[in-house]
Chains A and B, each alone.
Chain A
Amino acid sequence: MNCQECQQLLVAQIYGEVDENSAGIAEHCRQCASCAAWREDISAGRQLLNCLSQDDGETAGTSNADRPATAMVLPLLLQAEQQRKRRWRRAAVAVACLFGLAWVCQLVQLRVVFDNSSVQLHWGSASAQLVASSVTPPDKPATSPPEVTRADVSQLTAELQRLRSELLDMQVVQSDQTTAVASQSALLADYKTRLDVNEQLITLAGRQSLEVSQQLASLQGRTEAVMLRERTRWQHELGELRELGDARWRLLVHRLDYEFPERFSMVSAKPPTTP
């Protein structure tokens, strides 16, 4: 055991976590003066600290001792929740402002042009561009700023009105185009629907035609079978009728021959048929 290990074990030992005898600390301390001094120092330090252990609650806050714990913590929870909601609200307002600014820029067709020596802001249609600001002066020699007369103001005002009217016209045209595109889309959708219906009808008619043909063939076969069967039966009945007529005729001949043998001798002269 070296001194470093011993000093670490001494700390554990004075707090009762390590047994002095089992860890061999006492033997090392008998041989090592520095470790013995270390043990004396930390033991004394611990004793000095123990006097602070008696003042439990003096430095500790006790103002909330009678309050329930939830009453102590829940207001902080509510406050944290409100702060989180406030942060979200601020973020939403900032995003809304950004969208509004972007919408205004798009509405006035704002463009930023970076030139070699200046930055220019343009708005309105491309045919009528107004230079709003210039960061650096042009390379021209410095001259006195042009005087703005009332006529210039009126001219600029008229130009501005004209630009506004053009903007309105463009918006109307854009709206018309949007409407036309929407109507064409609706028409195309209608055509597609009709085409689908027609395809379904054609498919259905083909299926029905096939079924009718099959039924017709079946009927034709059944008709021929019935005709054959009826013809056979008719021939059979005809033969029976013939035989019956023949039998009746013979009965009549026999009767006449019996009642009037002299008169119808010529009849009886015929050879008798077998019964």
Chain B
Amino acid sequence: MNENDHQLMHRCRAGDLSAFDSLVNRWRAPLARILGRLLATGSFTAWATDVDDLSQEVFLRVFQSKQNYTEAATFSTWLYRIAVNVTRDAARRKRTRDKTVDQLQPPAAPAGPEEAVCRDELQQQVGQVLAGLPANLREPLVLRHFGGLTLAETADVLGLPVGTVRSRVGTALVQLRSELHQRGITEKDLPL
């Protein structure tokens, strides 16, 4: 049952829904992680329901365009390209909505010692700074750092030259560190 993604997509194209189930179960968590990072912009943090909706939309597009899938690239590249497009569409739609920080879902309350509280606070700050990056810097950084893609695959997903992706990822990392320094957070604050 250790079929790779290409084999599963081949079965899915033949009409086997169980193969599609396997693909969704395999890629649901990584996709949700990427979508959560791509969807968070500015002061807006991604809701779990938003991520769920976008995951459904991404897998819906995968199902609808399964005949267009080719084995020229990896499945993750194809999936993340769809995810980036879906996220961009969602961001375009989201501009019409007005959500404030007060309406946001609060982070999960840590039921633990003080270190866990500090760690969550640090994660929240880093997440906010990451969400505050411009989309053209955040997308390659999220795909490379959280999606596990190589820089070349990230460039393929975004349709950009590899050199541009490298420059943007570097700029995003530098800008991230600079913003966190302004908030008084350095890498020394990271838990060991």
Instruction: Using CB atoms and an 8 Å cutoff, list the residues of chain A in contact with chain B.
Output: 4, 7-12, 15, 17, 38, 41-42, 44-65, 68-70, 72-73, 76-77, 80
Closest chain A residue, CB of each to CB of B152: A17
Q: Is the CB of A65 within 8 A of B28?
A: yes
Q: Is the CB of A72 within 8 A of B151?
A: no
Q: How far is the CA of A65 from the CA of B191 in the complex (A)?
A: 30
* B91 within 8 A of partner (CB): no
* B33 within 8 A of partner (CB): yes
Closest chain A residue, CB of each to CB of B120: A55
- Chain B nearest Cβ from A55, distance in angstroms: 6
Return the CB mask of B125-168 against A: 1 if under 8 Å, else 0: 01100100000000001001110001100000000000100110
Stretch at the interface among B49-57, B68-76, B80-88: B49-57
- Chain A nearest Cβ from B123, distance in angstroms: 6
Q: Is the CB of A60 within 8 A of B33?
A: yes
Instruction: Using CB atoms and an 8 Å cutoff, list the residues of chain B in contact with chain A.
Output: 17, 20-21, 23-25, 28-29, 32-33, 35-37, 40, 45-46, 48-52, 55-57, 59-60, 63-64, 107-108, 119, 122-123, 126-127, 130, 141, 144-146, 150-151, 163, 166-167, 169-170, 172-174, 176-178, 180, 185-187, 190-191
Partner of A59, one of B48, B119, B169, B177: B48
Among A8, A47, A53, A68, the most chain B Cβ lie within 10 Å of the Cβ of A8
Q: How far is the CA of A128 from the CA of B35 in the complex (A)?
A: 72
Closest chain B residue, CB of each to CB of A14: B173
A70 with B21, Cβ < 8 A, contacts A48-B190, A57-B32 known: yes
A45 with B17, Cβ < 8 A, contacts A57-B33, A59-B36 known: no
**Residue numbers in B under 8 Å from A46 (CB-CB):** 145, 173
